[in-house]
Amino acid sequence: MADSNVKVLGTWSSPFVMRVRIALHLKSLNYEFVEENMMQGKSELLLKSNPVHKKVPVLIHGDNPICESLIIVHYIDEVWTSAPSILPSDPYERANSRFWAAYADDKFFPTVRKVLVVSTEEAKRAAMAEVLEGAVVLEEAFKKMSKGKTYFGGEELGYVDIAVGSFLAWIKVIEKFTETKVVSEAKTPSLAAWADCFSSHAAVKDVFPDIDKLADFGMKLRAMFLKAAAATTTD
């Protein structure tokens, strides 16, 4: 669809932006990607489109801005209803999918982020222990939801795949940073197989960031965060 009149305000490094792009790819929609440079300052268009949070991603469809990644994925699924569906059709499966997407956002990813921003080795080890616990919870969830198939969503990549899979690149960054595997054949074999299929999926592979580049970016964010934290505690 060439005339879908869709714009995405985002950054290459954000897992939340990645979700929106994967959903658009699944629906075979063309869109304009507008790269924001959050470090140098936010664009007028972003500030106007998301005045409450001033964050990416924003999807602009016609004149309508839609904010917050999981809300955008719902919107995409509800507007472009042609197959494939991103959310399952059964209400209980939908509720389960929303539950695990919320778990990924509210419980799991904050621990991944914590590994990168804490200042001591002890705090890093503690945060990493939480990440590893979360990965085991997700392994169990995967086994229940996928019922032996490739994705959380079954045969096809769906909502929970997008929600959890968008964090895989950042997981690889902390694996590198801590020299510890989070998703591995040994501890989370189902997630490990899923991660390979997810990353190489046609809707994903072009927006899956380069891990070395993301790791460099992560170290810059870490330095900025530690500097800001030090300034706050010594003022």
Q: How many helices (H) and strands (E) does the chain have?
A: 10, 4
The interface region with a copy of itself, picked from 97-105, 188-196, 207-215, 219-227 by CB under 8 A, is 97-105
Q: Does 74 bind a copy of itself (CB under 8 A)?
A: yes
233: its two tokens: 């505690």
Closest to 11 measured CA to CA, from 48, 58, 53, 51? 58
146 vs 175, beta carbon nearer a copy of itself: 146
∠29-35-36 over CA atoms, to 5°? 135
Which residue has 């991944």 as its token pair? 112
Is position 135 an interface residue for a copy of itself (rule: CB under 8 A)?
A: no
* CB 210, min distance to a copy of itself, A: 31
| Pick 71 or 223: Cβ nearer a copy of itself | 71
- Give yes or no for residue 79 binding a copy of itself (CB under 8 A): yes
- What are the contacts of 148-155 at 24+ separation with CB within 8 A? 150/194, 150/197, 151/194, 151/197, 151/198, 152/97, 152/100, 152/194, 153/88, 153/97, 154/88
| Number of residues engaging a copy of itself in binding (CB under 8 A) | 22
Tell which one of 64, 82, 232, 234 touches a copy of itself (CB under 8 A).
64
Among 67, 104, 128, 162, binds a copy of itself (CB under 8 A): 67
Residue 61 has a CB neighbour count (10 Å cut-off) of: 19
3 is a contact residue toward a copy of itself (CB under 8 A) = no
Nearest in space to 74 (alpha carbons), one of 93, 90, 54, 88: 88
52 near a copy of itself, judged by CB under 8 A: yes
- Which residues of the chain form contacts with a copy of itself (CB under 8 A)? 52, 61, 64, 66-68, 71-72, 74-75, 78-79, 91-92, 94-95, 98-99, 102-103, 107, 137
